[in-house]
Chains A and B, each alone.
Chain A
């Protein structure tokens, strides 16, 4: 069916619902009056009967009532049947409601949209809990990929917590035929990433990857987490199917499939007053690691072997009134190749719309280092909703000596974050920057 056909069908259906619903809504108003009602009403001291023109003027409202009528009947049925109780009973495996399953959604971020299932059991012993989640995701919904029904990515995430060691694992699969890389080919054939390419120097490539994670955490003291992660990677880059020029195949990262093994330590200190909607406190995280290719290498025949380190620190600073807070964030992500080795471009640090430089296209800036500073002012707009203003400043760099004030890119904007009493729900935001503006809806609470 064409877009116009769909539109006409929707309009026709809505009109039908409106007319039939309006009639049904009128019937809902109650039974017909008794035959002697008019005579009785005649005797009343006070009586108001709307004139015909008043009923005509009310027609648009009657139409709205008609549209709402099916929802009304559904709401009546759901309340009469206590639908939430039935749904909860279907979702939980036990009366204590410590085990069950939930639908799992993701939107925005590294993947565009995804859905899956989460299974959990939180009463396996003193404090012991297991979570298992899966996700199937799609990219570029607006371009019709969803209609084709093609799986773009999937994640499988089991977690075990509550014992002396928390264990988490993750397998993430991605098969995307239109990833973007911003790259400039210099006259001598050399390639430049980072802040050099303009927005127009966008190229496309296909990318399949499998990322794994096995992580063990301990908590030597309250709020402190020390962990060790093993992160294997498999990646294969090919020619993209997007409308942009193809990514030059000489960039490090092409050259056939590569398998990298690596990992390293993680240290996290969470001194916030609440993890979901923090109002005060500090959060800091540092991670490091080493990766080495056991298979594959760059087109230049250089091997992939590099170290990676970075961290971030957040300060949640109360201001003049309860709930009005200033959030300061600084983050560094850095890879360092060893010797004559190199780093595949697809594992370089990134700054873009998903990495807190919110006005910029996905994968806009990639290089061996990424430095970002974010300031957010958050304020309550409803019981569990916050508004926020933000300013992002960030730059990617090849060497630390490249970092310069004038090379920082910025984006700014506003948005709202929505929570439930239990957790983060989603955020909407509008970011503007030097190159573009970007409206986003996301299910991730980035900080």
Chain B
């Protein structure tokens, strides 16, 4: 297990002060308004396809060896990391954040449920504009499925729409397809681009093999696909008593495929790609979401870049849009089998964990050792044991490695935006035949969501004040921990200082307008134990409109 190390108090204070100065200065420059729309969708020439990320053997081996060693050998990384560990420097924060520490809409991310709540129907529907396969007519098999463990193939329906079809394994009917339905909708609702995943029933009588259908042989050479190949796929799938198959159909993503995106650096042939991916808030903060839904298989092979042209683009030009894919191995599913209860607690090869167990002679009991099977459809997925801070994917991921308390506050705010009612809507999309499984999934996701909130909104590591507004009566904010229900409002206290004035303690998350006067900034601290301990500061810069009304221009957050 690994926990992020935080700098020592003196360094934190220095770092916080520096960050505040920099951010307030930036906020002053950006006084014209808060940036909520990034301009990374400018027309560019069509890049070449880059499928390096689909080579999972190298990715997996590299991430556990060369990447880990490289973190030490890259002195530009390791020396600052050493400084951070020894308290001489603050965390290296994400780049693509606006003055409110939020993420503008981009080709990577769109603010959805957390900013503008989606109606239950929209949560249930998922991505717009990608209807499910036609209910009638032939489903023409065009090819075998190129990647992934789940049985499946590529089909074209009667309307000409193409889908990747995935089936459940015989031993675990409904497991992988249900996980994909729920997790894809969660990830979409929270803001990432995902293809539409539709649950549907395959009547084998509708399957037609295209004359030019192809598949890959054992040596991955393309060859004509035969009826025997289709039978072989179906034989590896869970068949219902009526002979039909439950399946997930993922709509083909619009545009021209350009391969997976990388987790580190930028794409040289994409001039829009100017932020190293490991420093993107929307990838760093995804760690919290991945932890919530146990998306341990987050790696390049499960991402997708597509080149999209829009009306008005110069000829031959478009932009890359970045997708996350393949959620069938989330929750308690590992596609063909139950996900090992160990996943999420350790990397597949985790030298620190192995060495720790060797040296502690087996006395240490690992949290997954007592995991119980929750339900045949849900596997070992449960609300506990779950430590969001210690959660890891199967292989080290540079953006996740770099996630800071600010990144995780942002990610947790997305997670916490899913209410119990929202969650009920989302888990029902699994359409599991046993209601007990759905109920267990709801309870597990709710418990994990609350664990995320408790961890990432903890006043001990960051000030969870957010959503700052100014109205006629007061300057207000939301204490995310209280809003998430993980801290009682009665236990919360807020200490603020307007400009260089005296500190004032309040039981309410608000500063009366009268106190603001011509204030330029407000420094806030939060306590969740009635003032016994205080959070790091969040400094909010205010600016005046033409009518003199104050409005929020920027936030600088310190963290521990």
Contacts and interface: CB of A to CB of B under 8 A. Distances in A.
A387 B362 contact: yes
B66 A68 contact: yes
Contacts of A40: 42, 44, 271-272
Contacts of A46: 38, 40, 95-96, 274-275
B52 interface: yes
A54 interface: yes
A28 B52 CA distance: 9
Contacts of B362: 321, 323-324, 377, 379-381, 387
A65 B70 contact: yes
B79 interface: yes
Contacts of A48: 95, 274-276, 279
B73 A41 contact: no
B104 interface: yes
Contacts of B48: 30-31
A274 interface: no
Contact of A75 (B39, B44, B58): B58
Secondary structure at the A interface, as helix, strand, loop or mixed, is mixed
Interface string A73-105: 001101111100110010000000000000000
Nearest to B56: A79
Interface stretch (B165-173, B247-255, B353-361): B353-361
A379 to B, nearest CB: 3
Nearest to B266: A48
Interface string A53-84: 11001101101110010001001101111100
Interface string A377-419: 1011111010101000000000000000000000000001000
Interface string B45-74: 101101010011110011000100110011
A1 interface: no
Contacts of B365: 321
Contacts of A82: 218-220
B336 to A, nearest CB: 15
Nearest to B216: A82
A80 B220 contact: yes
Secondary structure at the B interface, as helix, strand, loop or mixed, is loop
A199 B362 CA distance: 36
B76 A58 contact: yes
B269 A31 contact: yes
B435 interface: no
B239 interface: no
A136 B73 CA distance: 43
B271 A45 contact: no
A126 interface: no
B242 interface: no
Contact of B268 (A33, A65, A383): A33
A382 B352 CA distance: 11
A28 B50 CA distance: 10
A78 B42 CA distance: 38
B74 A58 contact: yes
A197 to B, nearest CB: 36
A377 B362 CA distance: 10
B45 A34 contact: yes
A293 to B, nearest CB: 50
B369 interface: yes
Nearest to A382: B354
A72 B75 contact: no
B275 A321 contact: no
A57 B56 contact: no
A14 to B, nearest CB: 15
Given A31-B47, A31-B268, A382-B354, A45 B75 contact: no
Interface in B344-400: 349, 354, 357-358, 361-362, 365, 369
A79 B55 contact: yes
B93 to A, nearest CB: 12
A32 B74 CA distance: 23
B413 to A, nearest CB: 20
A157 B210 CA distance: 53
Contacts of A3: none
19 contacts: A29-B265, A30-B47, A30-B48, A30-B267, A33-B269, A44-B272, A45-B35, A46-B96, A46-B274, A48-B276, A54-B76, A57-B75, A60-B75, A65-B66, A76-B52, A76-B58, A82-B220, A380-B362, A382-B357
Given A72-B62, A76-B52, 7 more contacts: A31-B48, A34-B44, A45-B104, A75-B55, A80-B220, A321-B369, A381-B357
Interface of A: 28-34, 36-38, 40-41, 43-50, 53-54, 57-58, 60-61, 63-65, 68, 72, 75-76, 78-82, 85-86, 89, 321-324, 377, 379-383, 385, 387, 389, 416
For the complex of A and B, the 4 pairs showing the least CB-CB separation, nearest first, are A379-B362, A37-B271, A57-B76, A61-B74
